[in-house]
Chain A
Amino acid sequence: MKQDKTSPLETLTEIRQLMERSSRFISLSGLSGVFAGLYALAGAYAAYRYLGLEGLGYYSGQRVVSSFRGADTLGFLMADAAIVLVLAIGTGIFLTTRKAKQDGNSIFDATAKKLIINLAIPLIAGGIFCIALNFHGAFIFVAPAMLIFYGLALVHASKYTRNDIRTLGFAEVLLGLIASFVVGYGLLFWVLGFGVLHIVYGTYMYFKYEK
């Protein structure tokens, strides 16, 4: 029997690496999580200031199911959220491309495509659901719904990237579920979920994989 040059253990390690590299997108930069969290905090602060002026209870524990204050408020909040989203995704793409180049991986390969598609399915469903909530004036459930759908998207997509994302997903879902009972503190939970958790997790991922 001809013996391969490499030891069986090396061969097994190689197989494992190849399996992981071919099915998971691992160039996701931890720093992009940190930046997403910072943008979220800035966006939430802007919303806090604005809602404070309008006297709207979205962080005071007021159980106002329908508190529509005109198209102005809704327009401001949607523009605010859109800016946060665009900045977070933009920075994420920039940092991830840079990291992929450093690692010698291609940025838009089959694993990246799978990750994006699987992340997008629950997110788009959640986004449309949130529009429906706004449409019916159920504003207090928008923050919990965003957290729950985002968390489920992360749990779902974790199969296609670093497994650590799964835990972050569970944390977001848990936070969203708590927020759906403790209504009236939407902005606070939003800050915890999209701001604080992202910064903590991004930092953790950065030091685990990039340092």
Chain B
Amino acid sequence: MKKILVDFNKAFESRVRLGIMSILMVNDEADFNTLKDLLNLSDGNLASHIKALEELKYVTVNKQFIGRKPNTNYSASKEGKKAFNAHLKSLENLIKSQTH
């Protein structure tokens, strides 16, 4: 059991963080409001989780202006994608170990 959980990433224990990464895995980038709508979160809640992923360097932030309105886009970094895939693998292993 212990060996299986080696790749179990603490950062992804939160379902919100896992959700953010899931979206960024299949979309080149997503803006704040899109993430908010998809995950059904409040501004503050989403911001704090993104901050955590940003500090881990799993997510890169791209701030720009559309006209006068600021628009912030997020995308998954190489490291973030690697960590997410490793986490998925460990989830799969966990399922396999339960069924066998």
**Chain B 31-54 interface mask (CB, 8 Å, partner A; 1/0):** 100100111000000000000000
Interface of A is mostly: helix
Identify 13 residue pairs between A and B in the complex whose beta-carbon atoms are under 8 Å apart, listed by A's number: A1-B5, A4-B15, A8-B92, A8-B95, A14-B15, A15-B19, A18-B39, A19-B23, A19-B25, A19-B26, A22-B23, A22-B30, A23-B26
A53 within 8 A of B: no
Given contacts A14-B19, A22-B22, A23-B26, 17 further A-B contacts (CB under 8 A): A2-B13, A6-B15, A8-B91, A8-B94, A12-B91, A12-B92, A14-B15, A15-B18, A15-B19, A15-B22, A18-B19, A18-B22, A19-B25, A19-B26, A22-B27, A106-B37, A110-B31
- Please tell me if the beta carbons of A22 and B13 are within 8 angstroms of each other in the complex: no
Q: Which residues of A contact B22 (CB under 8 A)?
A: 14-15, 18-19, 22
Complex Cα spacing A8 to B92, Å:
8
Which residues on A are within 8 Å of B, measured CB to CB? 1-2, 4, 6, 8-9, 11-12, 14-15, 18-19, 21-23, 106, 109-110
Q: Closest CB of chain A to B37's CB: distance in Å? A: 7
Interface of B is mostly: helix
Complex Cα spacing A112 to B39, Å:
17
Closest to A12 in B: B91
Closest 9 CB pairs of A and B: A22-B23, A18-B22, A23-B26, A8-B91, A15-B22, A19-B26, A8-B94, A110-B34, A8-B95
Kindly state the interface size class of chain B when it binds its partner: 20 to 34
Q: Which of these, B8, B13, B38, B91, contacts A18 with CB under 8 Å? A: B38
Which residues on B are within 8 Å of A, measured CB to CB? 5, 8, 13, 15, 18-19, 22-23, 25-27, 30-31, 34, 37-39, 88, 91-92, 94-95, 98
Q: Which residues of B contact A9 (CB under 8 A)?
A: 95
Closest to A22 in B: B23
Closest to A18 in B: B22
Query: Among B15, B22, B92, which residue has the most Cβ atoms of chain A within 10 A?
Result: B22
